[in-house]
Amino acid sequence: MLILIPIYNRTTILKWVLKSVENSTFQNELVKVCVVNNHPQTKDIVNKIVSEFKNNSRFIWITIHREVTMIHVKSWYSTLYSYAREGEVVLMLGDDDFLLPWSSDFRYRSMLNQHADMLLTNFFDRLYFFKNSSNYWLSKDFSLLNFQSQTTREWDFKPGIDPEASFISNHTYRFTEKFREGLDLAFNWCEEQNWLPEIVRMGMLPLYLPYAISLKGGKVIAMNSICVIRGAIVPDVYKEEYAGGGSTQLYLLCAYDTFSNMSLKNYSKKLKLAADFYEPLAKTFDIDLFLINNVKLNSIFKLYNHAKIKSYQLININTFKSIFIFLIKRIFRLTGFRLKLIEKTKNLPHISYLYKKFADD
């Protein structure tokens, strides 16, 4: 089994991410943990942190450092090609996400028992890191959730029901021919929007991947078990919603444009299920869409045009709500208000307390 952990300048919590992996249960399986550092300036720091774990003989620890920062998605999957064996199970884990103790074994056994090419699982939302990532706050009470439901099912094409495909830590693969064919197809779909910056269009690949694998004849399954705690670093969440500097609305629009594009390579009518889901979301005007630093206005207009969305279709109740919320947030400076209040008023526990909780359980 290969656990792939891409990291970009989030060294303050890498130790705890790796501890969550070390605390995982595995049955008679030697596990490779591959940390892919896409930020050359932090090479020495990453090496030092990973070296603290190398005495654990249950794992093979691999560290890769990019000499030049790559497009994140290309860095992830080129590493997968380099280090995964044929048929090997590959688990993805983000650099601010925690692996729950039972989840690796669940995912591994489900992939092999079902002979699947991809598995989507669920996540706990959300774990906020404060004070240089030394303290944390959980947005929900763990006791209210059922983490260990192991029922798997065939994944279908309709978003909003199955686990969130765009979240990379929900992904588990088997390195098979069908997976590789699906990955190539998903890359091809991203390149269809080649007028957008590469980091933006490639950011859509995790969402496209289960669709592409399915259309190539691969088997994609889903499991509602919560396997990961999704993290977020404060105050990073005030600045941008995605690593590429995009907005929610931009990615919704990209998704609708892709799934409604009948000239798409390997297009299938099954994609209409996804297109129907994203259509009302894409046809909601969001001012933030025009405030993105790395995306030119003419690229946004071309995206609307390519998706066949007319300006009059943006005049609806959802648009009015979106503009109202935007103005209220700007006028009263409410962006991140809840998190700023929590940081000031709550006695936030150290992150080691959360790790100890799982170790004790």
> Which domains are delineated in the chain?
2-239 (3.90.550.10), 248-343 (no CATH)
**Would you give the end-to-end CA distance of the chain in angstroms?**
24
Tokens of 67: 């000499």
Closest CA to 130 of 261, 242, 275, 235: 235
Instruction: Look up tokens 């700007």; give the residue.
Output: 330
Which range has the worst mean pLDDT, 20-24, 60-64, 236-240? 236-240
Please tell me whether the peptide bond between 235 and the residue prior to it is cis, using omega within 30 degrees of 0.
yes
Share of the chain above pLDDT 70, in %: 94
Confidence at 147, pLDDT banded by 50, 70, 90: low
Owner of token pair 């790395």: 294
Q: What is the pTM of this model?
A: 0.94
The amino acid at 128: Y
Instruction: Report residue 338's pLDDT band, with 50, 70 and 90 as the boundaries.
Output: confident
Q: What is the DSSP letter of 289?
A: G
Whether 159 and 278 have beta carbons less than 8 Å apart is answered as yes
Q: What's the distance, CA 63 to chain centroid?
A: 21
State the sign of the Cα–Cα–Cα–Cα dihedral 332, 333, 335, 337.
negative
Angstrom distance (rounded) from CA 112 to CA 117: 9
